[in-house]
Amino acid sequence: MDKGHALPQDIRDLRHCLRMKSKYAILLVFVVALVIIEKENNIISRVSDKLKQAPQPLMEVNSTDPGLVLSENGSLLSLSELDSAFSQLKSRLQNVTLQLGGTREPTVAQGPRRHVLLMATTRTGSSFVGEFFNQQGNIFYLFEPLWHIERTVSFEPGGANAVGSALVYRDVLKQLLLCDLYILENFITPFPEEHLTPYMFRRGSSRSLCEDPVCTPFVKKVFEKYHCKNRRCGPLNITLAAEACLHKNHMALKTVRIRQLEFLRPLVEDPRLDMRIIQLVRDPRAVLASRIVAFSGKYETWKKWQKEQLLNEDEVQRLRGNCESIRLSAELGLRQPAWLRGRYMLIRYEDIARSPLQNAKEMYRFAGISLTPQVEEWIQKNTQAPQDSNGIYSTQKNSSEQFEKWRFSIPFKLARVVQSVCGPAMSLFGYKLASDQETLTNRSISLLEERRAFWIT
Ligand SMILES: *[C@@H]1O[C@H](CO)[C@@H](O)[C@H](O)[C@H]1NC(C)=O
Ligand SMILES: *[C@@H]1O[C@H](CO)[C@@H](O)[C@H](O)[C@H]1NC(C)=O
Ligand SMILES: *[C@@H]1O[C@H](CO)[C@@H](O)[C@H](O)[C@H]1NC(C)=O
Ligand SMILES: *[C@@H]1O[C@H](CO)[C@@H](O)[C@H](O)[C@H]1NC(C)=O
Ligand SMILES: *[C@@H]1O[C@H](CO)[C@@H](O)[C@H](O)[C@H]1NC(C)=O
Ligand SMILES: *[C@@H]1O[C@H](CO)[C@@H](O)[C@H](O)[C@H]1NC(C)=O
């Protein structure tokens, strides 16, 4: 589905107009409500479409159900009203998925079950850190499952509808942590048939989805973009995956799509989850340098600016928004509200890169999960590869050398923009400002304040 495709032209126009005049906050609130209503209606109609396709006699879903109609007259809605509407929607989805899945009698694994959420943003090293959990044989690990939701619901990051997306993400997350993987079916296109899908995003990045018994024999050639790396498997059977999830002792999930920690409060307070949140942060200058390389298309404007010294105000505002939401989440975590106590950890990518094993141990200790030799082995293998004789790095990298490479790939004037808009976040996390190009590229000047590598509250 195209971004913005679902929105009527007039709303898009209005939002465009607002971008220009961001100071009209009241109008913005109005648009937030409009857009959320629009999106909500989309979800509901998608869900009811799915229901119509389902063969079994399902519970009645009435698209004119008063509980789900938010406001036909476009009046403003409070967050709590929205919240309860989403809860109902979720409960409905859950009921439907339970019915679709038949009577599953889960045999739940022994011992205290932990649920770990690795909360990050793009290019902060979250795939690397996620591997620390993926490699532990008793953790069911999912890599960016919210990708499906973002795609289906087509929210614009940082856009006016950020609140709406956060609520959907949160409710889907909760179901996933409870091993209700069926919830994803509603967001996978095309809709899985008989709980089979070759379209699970980054299936290959999740060991649990690629090992027995979830890896079914490969019989028919079906194109699977995100197939398992080490072996060929049949399309993903979501029932098998959900069962495997219940059989593992723990569940871990990495996401770059949760922007505000406070939205996770209902999950943290859910006694079934016994949740731990690890927020991973990284120097925003390094993040930008990495994004420019990784998403060259999307960051074209930055590259252009690098060349022509033209400042794109939209990009700067987006960067500021990202840094601020990361900072606000971290500040909330560090403030130690009662509901987060013992459940929140803040960690810098740079510290992990410099001492991966030691920090992995800290994360595991915090999570209350034992670190297995498999994890240790993976870390050894993937962080300490020496330079080979040709002076070229293999895919395995010497992480303590690599983490500062960005200093040579970003011009000072770009670093300076980041410093000016992300200053508060940088000072909170202990990233020192560089005063000039020489400081930026002089390796003997550290840009990292030595402080506690991590904060557990
Ligand atoms: C669905 O809504 C229609 C119109 O309001 C109503 O007549 C019908 O009884 C409803 N069905 C159920 C199952 O609630
Ligand atoms: C808008 O709709 C809501 C709920 O349907 C209702 O409570 C409210 O009075 C309506 N407001 C106006 C201005 O019509
Ligand atoms: C879902 O099922 C539960 C128990 O069967 C029921 O209490 C709840 O009302 C249902 N939710 C919806 C939205 O139908
Ligand atoms: C998926 O796995 C379940 C559980 O083993 C099995 O009952 C079902 O037949 C499988 N589905 C398909 C389409 O093979
Ligand atoms: C990795 O890089 C660091 C910093 O340059 C260096 O001290 C260390 O010896 C390197 N490790 C290996 C295995 O090459
Ligand atoms: C790098 O910084 C160190 C310490 O401040 C300084 O002694 C050295 O001259 C600098 N090197 C260059 C190339 O500027």
Residue 38 lies in a domain: no
Residue 25 lies in a domain: no
Pairing of strands 344-348, 454-456: antiparallel
* pLDDT band of 399, cuts 50, 70, 90: confident
Lookup: tokens for 31? 């648009």
Q: Decide: 442 in ligand 6 pocket, CB within 6 A.
A: yes
Res. 382: pLDDT tops 50: yes
Residue 413 lies in a domain: yes
Residue 179 lies in a domain: no
Return d(Cα 286, Cα 173) in angstroms, integer: 28
Q: Integer distance in angstroms from the first to the last C-alpha of the chain?
A: 40
Work out the average pLDDT over 405-429.
93
Tell me which of 108 and 145 has the higher pLDDT.
145
Residue 113 lies in a domain: no
Q: How far is the centre of ligand 4, averaged over its atoms, from the C-alpha of 124 (Å)?
A: 37
* 415 within 8 A of 440, measured Cβ to Cβ: yes
Return d(Cα 59, Cα 44) in angstroms, integer: 15
Lookup: tokens for 343? 């459940």
Q: Decide: 107 in ligand 2 pocket, CB within 6 A.
A: no
Q: How far is the centre of ligand 6, averaged over its atoms, from the C-alpha of 214 (Å)?
A: 55
3-state secondary structure of 393: coil
Alpha-carbon distances, residue 322 vs 33, 140, 423 (angstroms): 22, 29, 12
Instruction: Enumerate long-range contacts of 236-239, CB under 8 Å, 24 or more apart.
Output: 236/196, 236/197, 236/198, 236/200, 236/203, 236/209, 237/195, 237/196, 238/181, 238/182, 238/184, 238/185, 238/192, 238/195, 238/196, 238/197, 239/101, 239/104, 239/195
Residue 378 lies in a domain: yes
Pick the atom of ligand 2 nearest to 74's CA: 1
Lookup: tokens for 381? 């293998």
Q: How far is the centre of ligand 5, averaged over its atoms, from the C-alpha of 137 (Å)?
A: 29
Pick the atom of ligand 4 nearest to 194's CA: 13
Most confident of the following: 11-25, 231-245, 394-408 = 231-245
Residue 153 lies in a domain: no
Where do runs of H (alpha helix) occur along 335-411? 349-354, 356-367, 373-383, 399-402
Q: Which of 34, 75, 81 maximizes ligand 2 atoms within 8 Å of its Cβ, making it the mutation to test the pocket?
A: 75
DSSP string, 36-63: HHHHHHHHHHHHHHHHHH--S-PPP--T
Q: Return the pLDDT at 236.
A: 96
* pLDDT band of 106, cuts 50, 70, 90: very low
DSSP string, 401-443: HHTTGGGGTS-HHHHHHHHHHHHHHHHHHTBPPP-SHHHHH-T
The rounded mean pLDDT for the chain is 79
| 38-54 pLDDT tens trace | 555 555 555 545 444 43
| Among the bound ligands, the one closest to the CA of 441 | 6
| 72-100 pLDDT tens trace | 444 444 555 556 666 666 666 656 555 55
Return d(Cα 129, Cα 407) in angstroms, integer: 21
| CB atoms near residue 442 (< 10 Å) | 13
Q: Which of 350, 400, 404, 407 maximizes ligand 5 atoms within 8 Å of its Cβ, making it the mutation to test the pocket?
A: 400
| 398 backbone φψ class: left, alpha, beta (φ>0; ψ -120 to 50) | beta
Pick the atom of ligand 3 nearest to 92's CA: 13
Residues near 27 by beta carbon (within 8 Å), at least 6 away in sequence? 18
Return d(Cα 320, Cα 181) in angstroms, integer: 34
Q: Return the pLDDT at 72.
A: 43
* 259 within 8 A of 325, measured Cβ to Cβ: yes
Q: How far is the centre of ligand 5, averaged over its atoms, from the C-alpha of 247 (Å)?
A: 40
Q: Which of 445, 446, 447 maximizes ligand 6 atoms within 8 Å of its Cβ, making it the mutation to test the pocket?
A: 445
Lookup: tokens for 353? 């890169």
Q: Which of 44, 69, 95 maximizes ligand 3 atoms within 8 Å of its Cβ, making it the mutation to test the pocket?
A: 95
Pick the atom of ligand 3 nearest to 59's CA: 14
User: Helices 356-367 & 126-134, crossing angle to 10 degrees?
Assistant: 60
Alpha-carbon distances, residue 212 vs 243, 377, 418 (angstroms): 12, 21, 46
Q: Decide: 239 in ligand 4 pocket, CB within 6 A.
A: yes
Mean pLDDT lowest for which of 242-246, 344-348, 403-407, 429-433?
Answer: 403-407
Return d(Cα 174, Cα 170) in angstroms, integer: 6
Amino acid at 247: H
Res. 55: pLDDT tops 50: no
Work out the average pLDDT over 184-191.
93
Q: Which domain holds residue 331?
A: 251-457
Q: Decide: 444 in ligand 6 pocket, CB within 6 A.
A: yes
Res. 3: pLDDT tops 50: no
Return d(Cα 326, Cα 119) in angstroms, integer: 10
| Among the bound ligands, the one closest to the CA of 437 | 6
Within 191-231, strands assigned E span 196-197
Return d(Cα 197, Cα 203) in angstroms, integer: 11
H or E element in which residue 142 lies: strand 139-143
Q: How many CA atoms lie within 13 A of 443 on its CB side?
A: 8
Number of domains in the chain: 1
* 177 within 8 A of 272, measured Cβ to Cβ: no
Please report where in the chains the tokens 């709303």 appear, as a residue. Answer: 11
* pLDDT band of 104, cuts 50, 70, 90: very low
Residue 270 lies in a domain: yes
| Among the bound ligands, the one closest to the CA of 217 | 4
| 231-279 pLDDT tens trace | 999 999 999 999 999 999 999 999 999 989 999 999 999 999 999 999 9
Q: Return the pLDDT at 70.
A: 38
